[in-house]
Chains A and B, each alone.
With several copies, the nearest count.
Chain A
Amino acid sequence: MSASLDKNTALRGYEIMKTIREFETRIAAEYAAGTVPGMTHLYIGQEAVAAGICVHLSNADSTASTHRGHGHCIAKGCEIGPMALELFRKEGGICKGKGGSMHIADVSKGMLGANAIVGGSAPLACGAALTAKTLGTQNVSVAFMGDGAANQGTVFESMNLAVVLKLPVIFVVENNGYGEHTGVDYHVGSKDICSRSAAFGMPAKKIDGTDFFAVSAAMAEAAALARAGGGPTTLECCAKRWHGHYEGDPQAYRAKSELEELRRDADPLIIFRSKVSAAGDVSVAELDSLDAKITQQISDAVDVALRAPQPAPAELLTDVYASY
């Protein structure tokens, strides 16, 4: 366990990761069973990134997320029950069932939304950071994005803007190896994402995104810098996704063996467990009982969601404007 991280924070990180894993594993099964409407992109394999970043954030800090947003939402404190209802697009969903997987948001928790537009998050996170800077709150904001998103003009513009205005924003580029079905070696001309950020004039680091402690340590530094008025940082966190781009993706672009290796060597939960047990800080029993609690909680939440009614028809016409 990292010297700078207290036990509670580490346990919170684990809880986040396990919740993501369990939630999405169940969603994957439901998706295969045909109960989940629309498209879904799963985050499994990248849990340590969301967890390592968000353990350093409070509700007053903001994050803007992506189409692969469940992990970020859970890590940022969105409640599992309403999230499950939202995925099934039911009444009581976190967005009343009107958003679905790619638009889960809870602004009261500082979660400014998953986002179905690649690269959409970066300008929004700059905006939250601008609020913090303008009001002098010392809050920070995080823009999550993928390796593919890192080629969007919106992202580059945001990076330069953040440097120019010294905004307290952290760009978290989750390099999971692919943008849809295209490998990062093809779509990023520079063979490195964080060096492009560095060229904008900000600190930028490449990090093992399967290691909660590595992500957490880098984020601790970036957040401290931002809160102190030192401006933005980019963290390129490398952790491949285990599932397809979307559920149902035949994944002809990668070898079965890649997936086997990932499950064996790059499981953020296993890596966490081995690190803490090596350090002797957390007992296996503690983690196992957390696991059991989470499994039950998610099973309950999904069961409730499956049985819940659809939104009332009148909901079609509400929430377009504050009042009209």
Chain B
Amino acid sequence: MPVKSFREAINEALRQEMERDSNVILIGEDIAGGHGGIEGGIGSTGSMFGALKGLYDQFGASRVIDTPISESAIVGAAAGAALTGLRPVAELMFMDFFGVCFDQIYNQAAKFRYMFGGNCSVPMVVRGAVGAGYGSAAQHAQALWPIFSHVPGLKVVLPSNPYDAKGLLIQAIRDDDPVMFLEHKVLYNEKGEVPDEPYSIPFGEANVTRSGEDVTVVAFGRMVGFANDVADKLRQEISVEVIDPRTTSPLDMEMIIESVEHTGRLLVVDEANPLCGMCSEVISNVAIESIGALKVAPEKLSAPHTPVPAAPNLEELYIPSRDRIESSIRKLMVS
């Protein structure tokens, strides 16, 4: 199978969906780039993380729409366009910018279907980069998926690898509901096998990335790779099952519970802040549904309740590490 980067997978998903369906448009800041500059410069940016390179050249200004720095107008325009027949994919560049436009996401797009009694669809995607590890500090490095997952009407996607990124983004575009599509900035250069043809991965279906008997590790986003590495390292000693939910809303608790019923031990690893986050959500659901299956108290590994620090050494401490995943697993086995 061809090997592609996470960035290329995103690009391919967008390109193939735009080829398939002329109602799919892209809108955001510098997703083409170069407007108002020299001749020939338009399209040279292809979004700040380079994931949209070439799409302007292929689809032109009517489908790859550069905007002023006006996120409420961008996301609201996407919502209005979605209500009236397009399938817009809006880009927020860094998802941290949602704070200036959240109303159009959470009060508008997410609620239309319910408020209008089901008589509409809002098939839109809001893409943006998330996560720490890039030295981009407090306002450009947040996880945020717990906030989005809290909101009824939104679906929240957090791919951990190139294969999933392509399949989930295609699903997001075809989905008839508003989808928050979160791209971990540290993963953009990650490579993996990605089929050339279009395919979609359904939402709410977790992926077992490592099968195991002794401990269930539920990991989100970038943490999936870390958990896999630790599982591989410990293989001779401890049999670790790693579950990647892939979407945080809907959240595939069924598969998680099935696994915990089997292993009796649970670690949840997430890069987001701890209060009202995914770790709490997963652990509480397991406690409610399967407390009897737990042989020991579940473990939680998340970022601390602090903003993301700028200093690289502090940022590294902020993010859950392979070492801490390993210690947590060992702790579960000992107690």
User: Quick one: which of B45, B66, B75, B134 contacts A38, CB cutoff 8 A?
Assistant: B134
User: Quick one: which of A123, A131, A161, A189 contacts B85, CB cutoff 8 A?
Assistant: A131
User: Quick one: which of B82, B86, B139, B204 contacts A116, CB cutoff 8 A?
Assistant: B139
Chain B, residues 82-124, CB within 8 Å of chain A (1/0): the string is 1111101000000011011001100110001111111111000
Bound Cα distance A175, B104 (Å): 24
Q: Is the CB of A131 within 8 A of B34?
A: no
Q: Is the CB of B36 within 8 A of A157?
A: no
Q: Is the CB of A127 within 8 A of B84?
A: yes
Q: Is the CB of B44 within 8 A of A252?
A: yes
Q: Is the CB of A125 within 8 A of B175?
A: no
Chain B, residues 123-160, CB within 8 Å of chain A (1/0): the string is 00000000000111111100000000000110100000
User: Quick one: which of B84, B104, B117 contacts A96, CB cutoff 8 A?
Assistant: B117
Q: Is the CB of B41 within 8 A of A107?
A: no
Chain A, residues 90-113, CB within 8 Å of chain B (1/0): the string is 100111111110110111100011
Bound Cα distance A310, B48 (Å): 29
Contacts A89-B310, A316-B314, A322-B113 hold; do A148 and B69 have CB atoms under 8 A apart? yes
Q: Is the CB of A186 within 8 A of B177?
A: no
Contacts A161-B73, A315-B314 hold; do A103 and B48 have CB atoms under 8 A apart? no
Contacts A98-B314, A117-B97 hold; do A103 and B120 have CB atoms under 8 A apart? no
In the complex, chain B residues whose CB is within 8 Å of the CB of A151: 68-70
Q: Is the CB of B72 within 8 A of A153?
A: yes
Bound Cα distance A149, B140 (Å): 17
Question: Does B37 make an interface contact (CB < 8 A)?
Answer: yes
Q: Is the CB of A93 within 8 A of B117?
A: yes
Contacts A127-B80, A186-B66 hold; do A321 and B153 have CB atoms under 8 A apart? yes
Question: Does B78 make an interface contact (CB < 8 A)?
Answer: yes
Question: Does A180 make an interface contact (CB < 8 A)?
Answer: yes
Contacts A97-B311, A106-B119, A126-B76 hold; do A181 and B69 have CB atoms under 8 A apart? no
Residue from A182, A255, A322 having most chain B Cβ neighbours under 10 A: A182
Chain A, residues 111-154, CB within 8 Å of chain B (1/0): the string is 01101111110111111111111110000010000001101111
Q: Is the CB of B68 within 8 A of A188?
A: yes
User: Quick one: which of A39, A258, A310, A311 contacts B135, CB cutoff 8 A?
Assistant: A39
In the complex, chain A residues whose CB is within 8 Å of the CB of B177: 321-322
Q: How many positions in chain B have a CB within 8 Å of any CB in the partner chain?
A: 85
Q: Please classify how large the interface on chain A is, using the bins under 10, 10 to 19, 20 to 34, 35 or more.
A: 35 or more
User: B118's closest neighbor in chain A, by CB?
Assistant: A319
Question: Does A203 make an interface contact (CB < 8 A)?
Answer: no
Q: Is the CB of B311 within 8 A of A89?
A: yes
Bound Cα distance A278, B98 (Å): 51
Bound Cα distance A324, B42 (Å): 40
Q: Is the CB of A124 within 8 A of B108?
A: yes
Bound Cα distance A131, B86 (Å): 6
User: B123's closest neighbor in chain A, by CB?
Assistant: A322
Chain B, residues 39-51, CB within 8 Å of chain A (1/0): the string is 0011011001000
In the complex, chain B residues whose CB is within 8 Å of the CB of A192: none
Question: Does A284 make an interface contact (CB < 8 A)?
Answer: no
User: Quick one: which of A97, A320, A324 contacts B307, CB cutoff 8 A?
Assistant: A320
Question: Does B335 make an interface contact (CB < 8 A)?
Answer: no
In the complex, chain B residues whose CB is within 8 Å of the CB of A212: none
10 A–B contacts from the bound complex (CB under 8 Å): A89-B135, A95-B115, A98-B114, A100-B135, A107-B83, A112-B80, A115-B108, A118-B69, A127-B83, A182-B66
Given contacts A182-B36, A313-B314, A320-B307, 7 further A-B contacts (CB under 8 A): A112-B80, A120-B108, A130-B88, A158-B77, A160-B68, A310-B313, A311-B313
Question: Which 5 pairs across A and B sit closest by C-beta, in order of nearness?
Answer: A127-B80, A123-B76, A183-B36, A100-B310, A253-B37
